Amino acid sequence: MIRVGVREFTKNFSKYQNIDMVEIIDKKTDEVKGIFISPEAAEKVKDLLSKRKKEKIEGILKFAGIANGAFGDMDVQDIKRKKREKYYE
C-alpha cells in the first residue's frame, strides 16, 4: 500500500485515483489519518464491512434478552423469531 502525506495527496489527487488503496499519513507524527479507496475497490470494501457488521450483530443477539429474562419459557425458534421482529424489521 502506498503511504503519502496529507498535503501531497491533496495536491496530486488525480495521480492516486487509479490506485486501489492509499494510506494518508501525517508526516510529522507518522500517524495514519485515513485511507483512500478507489471507486473500483469501494464496493468490495462496503460488502466486507456490512458482512462483518451483520456477523457482529448476530453474535450479540445470541445473548439479547437472556439477562433480563425477557424470553422466559420460549423455545429457541420463538426466541429467534422474536429477535428478528425486534431488530431486523
Tens digit of each residue's pLDDT (9 = 90 or more) over 7-33? 999 898 888 888 889 999 999 998 999
pLDDT band at 63; cut points 50, 70, 90: low
pLDDT at position 65: 56
Name the residue ranges covered by the structural domains of the chain. Answer: 1-37, 42-89
CA of residue 24 relative to chain centroid, distance: 19
Task: Output the CA torsion sign for 7, 12, 14, 15.
Answer: negative
Task: Say if residue 68's pLDDT is above 60.
Answer: no
23 within 8 A of 6, measured Cβ to Cβ? no
Task: Give dist(CA 81, CA 46) in Å, integer.
Answer: 28
